[in-house]
Amino acid sequence: MKLKIKVYSDYVCPFCFLAEKPLEEAIEGKDVEVEWMPYELRPYPNETLRPEENYLQSTWKQAVYPMAEQMGIDIVLPNVSPQPYTHLAFEGYQYAKEKGKANEYNDRMLRAFFQEQQDIGNVDILTKLAGEIGLDETEYREALVTRKYKEAHQKALAHSYNEANITAVPTFVIGNTTVTGVRSKETLEQIINDEMKKQPLEILTEGMACGVDGCK
């Protein structure tokens, strides 16, 4: 039985981007299923952050950049000001999920913002990024313009806020264990291994029968 891992994140959270690499390394070769879950840190109409603000630059200088350097990950404080709302990108995620490209989409959004400084609140840019991972651009754009996946996204948000009680991102729910914040490959591996030991054995029973020569 696959171990289920849910990762709650927002596309404008630098630590969510930094959390990708150790997770990918920790799950390599393991029978797990990762699902990225949407969580808007500053949903409309709340004001979003501005990169020119001193406190944001200070946070990046003191925490984000040192961590990224230690992890060997290229990242930059995007110059998009104000930072984009992420509801449209997340509605696009619901479309990508339906097309079997959820993880690729999630990764593309994070890299577009934190490595390429692209405005992931812009429909034209989102459409181009979707096309880069093999999604139908015309269909994708129409889904965003008509807000086809608004309800699905709102339902996912309600789950994050009210059912899962997520208050910060990234948050990992690994089996029955919940941890918040960027974690090392070793820490994630330990949690994954511990949770996999708790998984019930999957026993194939279909087709089993007994005959005169015994059971098989």
How many degrees, rounded to 5, is the angle at CA 106 between CA 135 and CA 180?
Answer: 165
Residue ranges in the chain assigned as alpha helix (H): 14-18, 20-27, 54-59, 65-71, 87-98, 102-114, 123-132, 137-145, 150-158, 185-198
- Radius of gyration, CA atoms only, the chain: 20
Q: Determine the average pLDDT of the residues in 163-175.
A: 97
Which amino acid type is present at position 68? A
Q: Which residue has the higher pLDDT, 95 or 204?
A: 95
The per-residue pLDDT for 1 is 79
Q: Determine the average pLDDT of the residues in 31-50.
A: 96
Residues sharing a CB contact under 8 Å with residue 131, sequence separation 6 or more, in sequence order = 137, 140
- pLDDT (tens digit per residue) in 132-168: 999 999 999 999 999 999 999 999 999 999 999 999 9
Q: Which domains does the chain have, with CATH numbers?
A: 3-215 (3.40.30.10)
pLDDT reading at 203 higher than 60: no
